[in-house]
Each structure stands twice: as structure tokens, then as C-alpha cells.
Amino acid sequence: MSILDGRTGLKKVIDEVAEVTGYLWQKGWAERNGGNITVNVTEFADESWATMPAIAPKKNIGMVLPNLKGKYFYAKGTGKRMRDLARYPMQNGSIIRICDDCASYEIIADEPVMPTSELPSHLALQDYLLGSGSTYKATLHTHPIELVAMSHIQRFLKGDEMTRVLWSMIPETLAFAPLGIGIVPYGLPGSVELAEATLEQIKTHDVVLWEKHGTVAVGTDIMDAFDQTDVLCKAANIYMCAKSMGSEPDGMTDEAMKEVQDVFNLPKTRPC
């Protein structure tokens, strides 16, 4: 018996996760077991969830996250492939419950699939989102080829240079990613330090780029987080296609970009 049985809302969320993981694989953003997903599913919990026994030993998160007490998340399993999760989401991910100490978690369904090794980064973001009153519930880490490639060029790691270039490639990038992309210098995957640096950048950007590694995005649901990443990666692809023709792309002028910002009344800070 699955925790999804009879819970149409929860099943819809998990089905959407499976759909997005298929897109990640098709785009080449999820080689082998690359990438991770976490979604807050607390809204679907009933009283029975609180008494469900753990099906694996309790694990420490590595930090105290006070806003997550008693919350529930679907998390992709460590070592699991996105292409497999697309077909069998509850065999390649699990539902976890955050313990009362706010520093550990336990798996309650469906199988003892240990969550991603980057769970601290995901849960730190979820703690921030809940604490700030945000409606965002999903976090996505993936490996968009063009954006990772740009992070190998020092020019794009300085200030807001990458954001400026990506915005200038096509008006929709500025319209749909008005806060741009934040840069986190290379750090050990799964480390608390990487989680803390990511948290600082996501407060003021649409997407965070881990240097020479991948991106992290948050959204109202997993499709929204995917779209944020996709928009910026499309701009990076346009930049590379134009540059492959032999010269540095002109891009939109500052005046043209300001016009887009003014006409669409784009936010300068992250909305809740």
C-alpha cells in the first residue's frame, strides 16, 4: 500500500515531480544520478501521518531548522536516477518527517530510500521559505549544461555580469527572471557551507548557480522551479549560439532592458 492511495492532491504533486524529472533527463541536465528535488507536502498530511512509524533510522540534518518542526517533504533518493524517478517516483524518493528537535528527520513512506546527500541545502531553503511566509514549496537542483559551462569563465562569476548578459539575450528572460542569477563559489556538494551560501543568494535571486556544478531554484511547485531554470538556460544557449558565429553578441541595450522593466513593472526583490 502506498501513501498516495486515496490522496489525490498528494498524488498530483508526485506525478508532477515525475513529469519534471523526465524533462530534466531529456534536456541532458540529469546525467546518471545528477540533480535533486524536494517538495513540501505538509498540506496533504492528516493525523495518521504523525503516528506513522519510521521505516529507517533517524538521521541528522547537520543544522537546526526551527520552521520545519513536524513538516513533511518528498525528497529524491540519494544515488537515484531522474529517468527512473520519472517512472517510479515512490521507489526513487521518499516522504520524510522532520523531528521535534528540528535537526533530524525520519522516513515514513513508501520505502526506506535515503534522501539526497544535498538535503541540508534543500531543507535550509525550505526553512527560509516557511519563515518568510513564502508560498514557494519546491526546490530543484539540476545541471543545466549552458549555465554550468558559463560558470567556468571567470568573467561571469564577477558581480552581476552573468545576469546582465542573460537578461540581454531575449526580453522574456528579464520578464520571467527579473531577479537574475546568483553565484555561489565552488563548494563541496552536500556541505553545510554550500547550503548557507545558497540560502543567502536565493533571498535576492530567482536562481542560484553553484560554480562548476549546477543550479538551485525554488518555486510554488516543481514545474515553477523548473521554468525558472529553463528560462535562464535558454538565454545562455542563445548567447553561446551567437558567440559561435565568431563575435561577442551585442545583446539588448541597457535602455531596452530598462524599458522592459518599466513596462512590466518588474520586482526588484523576491515576492512571497
Strands (E) across 53-123 are located at 59-60, 72-76, 93-98, 104-109
Average pLDDT over residues 41-67: 95
Q: Which domains does the chain have, with CATH numbers?
A: 8-263 (3.40.225.10)
Confidence of residue 267 (pLDDT cuts 50, 70, 90): confident
Active-site option among 16, 47, 118, 146: 118
pTM over 0.75: yes
pLDDT, residue 159, reads: 85
Residue 196 is a catalytic residue: no
Question: For the segment 115-135, what is each residue's pLDDT rounded down to a tens digit?
Answer: 988 898 899 999 999 999 999
Question: For the segment 97-112, what is each residue's pLDDT rounded down to a tens digit?
Answer: 999 999 999 999 999 9
Helix %, strand %, coil % of the chain (to 5) = 40, 15, 40
pLDDT, residue 69, reads: 97
Measured distance CA(134)–CA(247) in Å, rounded: 42
